[in-house]
Amino acid sequence: MSAIEDEIKKEVAENKILIYGKGTKAAPQCGFTVETIQFFNKYGYPFEVINVLDNMPKREALNQMTNWPTLPKVFINGDFYGDTDILDEMEAKGEVEPLIKKAFGDA
């Protein structure tokens, strides 16, 4: 396993909700990252955004690890969930909030 993969696994383990996106939480650099930040803001739980815009090796490693070509990439409680297209569908079925509550021990 590469050092980049080790770094990604450590980041995923340290954050209950983690978004790999373009830009940061304070300064997102694409509409999809903004949308994902807004999505999680409404739940009121802490989450982290890691900018991979200028880190092609990390983006490539994430693509390979998740088999998902686009950003942002969302991890909840260590599991990969895709992006807001997937999360919107899950939210419509009432699946997101229980998942987040479980991640934070509120379930």
- Segment 83-107, tens digit of pLDDT: 989 999 999 999 999 999 999 998 6
Architecture of domain 3-101: 3-Layer(aba) Sandwich (3.40)
pLDDT band at 35 (very low <50, low <70, confident <90, very high): very high
Mean pLDDT of all residues belonging to the chain: 96
Sequence ranges of the domains in the chain: 3-101
Burial (0-12, 13-18, 19+ Cβ within 10 Å), 6: exposed
* Count of all residues that appear for the chain in the document: 107
pTM: 0.95
Q: Do the Cβ atoms of 39 and 49 come closer than 8 Å? A: no
Q: Classify the C-alpha dihedral 8-13-15-18 as positive or negative.
A: positive
Please provide the DSSP assignment of 58-91 as one string.
HHHHHHHHHT--SS-EEEETTEEEESHHHHHHHH
